[in-house]
Amino acid sequence: MATRSGFEKHYPEVFEKFEFVTVFDLLIKYIKEGRIKLDKTRFKGPATYHDPCNYGRKAQKVFGHGYFDEPRWILSQCVENWIDLYPATMNQICCGGGGGTLVNSYNEERTYYGRRKMDQIRATGAGMLVVPCHSCHGQFNSIKKAYDMEGLEVKYLWELVADCMIV
Amino acid sequence: MTAKDIIHMNELDHSRFKSWGFSQDFCVTCGLCSSSCPATGIDGFDPRKLIRMLSLGLESEVVASRWPWICTLCAKCENVCPMEIDIADAVRRVRSLRDRDKVPGNIHKGLEAALETGNNLRLPKDDYVFILEDVAEEIAEEPGYEGFTVPIDKKGANILTTIHNKLVNTHTEDLKHWWRIFHAAKEDWTVPSENWEGTNWAYFTGDDEAMKIMTGRIVDHMNKLEVKTLMWPE
């Protein structure tokens, strides 16, 4: 988000010269081209998926495309049994770790902020939460104990892909 | 703000933020933003109040307030705003008005470190390269990944990646996921030896000049290493 916004504002010429790929498009390319093979039986689920603000709602507004379908397709290649949070996509609830709050020392506020998200996750009964964002990942691991959800496994989307690869 | 901090009408300055292009003066005080915001109520914060303070020109109050830093810039508020006010960008702009030494926590300190040393941790190049090579050796010991090495500063590579600082700090295991995928997909990729920082905390502190410097470094890498593609920092 920050890098792409910075390029669009300050270095628009790079879009003529180079190609750019998101983590989602790259994973989809590898899977569709058969460059990586995935085993769907390793994780039984149920899993769930959290839409990061920057890849979803904010990308939709700023760049005209929110990454909602792509991560869900990738997740479906890795796990059969997964459940969406409600609400999700454009109406998703922030994890509470965005905007620098993980490193601005407002830890009590940040933990409280996450309460609605944790309720959503609990409601799915999922044991694994898949996220494609370092801030969300850090936030969930930081606050899950405060919500008696220490058993929740928080996994990067690309970590799940790597763990499902047949090599 | 508490009752004893009552603001008098003659202290209001409706023109103070007129030049800001976030449509903040269009606010109809409907409260949808406040209802949708997960941070509403924390320390008296809600987005409607903050936007009203901008319209009323209460500069010193809004800049000194903790509210802009409680907000996560998630944009749920503006998604429901009937007047299409750019609330998250307005909050970020308010953050930019804080004296840099009063920016809370480590966000400005980390950014300062990145501007001075190329990464938020002030991690020296030798230590950084040692960590990357050490993790690569661990991967190479796994079945199916024999011969794995980390291609640092590889000229002409297809894909350039950056590194989130926590992955060479407390979370080195998390370096391995993408590296395993690249190996399996037979990708031609690289990672820079200097100025490798993938985060851009200037986005959080509202510092546009620093944001330009940080993103410019990635442009320099693409040019110098003659890569074809940038993988946007995760």
The domain limits of chain A are: 2-164
Domain termination site, one of B37, B66, B98: B98
Residue A93 to residue B191: CA distance in whole angstroms: 33
Per-residue pLDDT of chain B (234 residues; tens, 9 = 90+): 555 677 788 889 999 999 999 999 999 999 999 999 999 999 999 999 999 999 999 999 999 999 999 999 999 999 999 999 999 999 999 999 999 999 999 999 999 999 999 999 999 999 999 999 999 999 999 999 999 999 999 999 999 999 999 999 999 999 999 999 999 999 999 999 999 999 999 999 999 999 999 999 999 999 999 999 999 997
Say yes or no: B84 and B114 in one domain.
no
In chain A, which stretches have pLDDT less than 70? none
Q: A31 CA to chain B: closest CA distance, Å?
A: 9
Q: Which long-range contacts (CB under 8 A, 24 or more apart) does B81-84 make?
A: B81/B32, B81/B33, B82/B28, B82/B30, B82/B32, B83/B23, B83/B26, B83/B27, B83/B28, B84/B23, B84/B26
Say yes or no: B40 and B144 in one domain.
no
Mean pLDDT in chain A? 97
Which of B56, B62, B182 has the alpha carbon at shortest distance from A21? Answer: B182
User: What is the per-residue pLDDT for B2?
Assistant: 58
Q: Decide if A66 touches B, using CB distance below 8 A.
A: no
Query: Out of A93, A105, A114, whose CB is closest to B104?
Result: A105
Say whether B197 sits in a helix, a strand or coil. strand
Say yes or no: B166 and B219 in one domain.
yes
Its domain, for residue B35, covers: 3-98
Say yes or no: B94 and B111 in one domain.
no
Query: Out of B184, B216, B229, whose CB is closest to A165?
Result: B184
Residue of A nearest to B231 (CA): A21
Say yes or no: B151 and B175 in one domain.
yes
Query: Out of B107, B178, B203, whose CB is closest to A104?
Result: B107
Say yes or no: B19 and B120 in one domain.
no
Domain termination site, one of B76, B98, B120: B98
Set of chain A residues whose Cβ sits within 8 Å of the Cβ of B38: 93-94, 96, 113-117
Say yes or no: B129 and B155 in one domain.
yes
Query: Out of B42, B69, B234, whose CB is closest to A132?
Result: B234
Say yes or no: B18 and B41 in one domain.
yes
Residue type, B124: P
What's the structural domain count of chain B?
2
Mutate to test the interface with B, among A1, A5, A16, A26 (most CBs of B within 10 A): A26
Say yes or no: B129 and B89 in one domain.
no
Q: Is the separation of the CB atoms in A48 and A131 below 8 Å?
A: no
Q: Where does A11-154 have alpha helices with state H?
A: 14-17, 23-32, 57-63, 69-78, 107-113, 115-124, 134-143
Interface list for B 133-172 with A (CB within 8 A): 143-145, 159, 164, 166
Residue A58 to residue B203: CA distance in whole angstroms: 13
CATH number assigned to the domain comprising residue B58: 1.10.1060.10
Say yes or no: B118 and B224 in one domain.
yes
Say yes or no: B78 and B148 in one domain.
no
Domain termination site, one of B81, B98, B115: B98
Token pair belonging to A59: 């990308």
User: What is the per-residue pLDDT for B53?
Assistant: 96
Instruction: Quote the ipTM score.
Output: 0.97
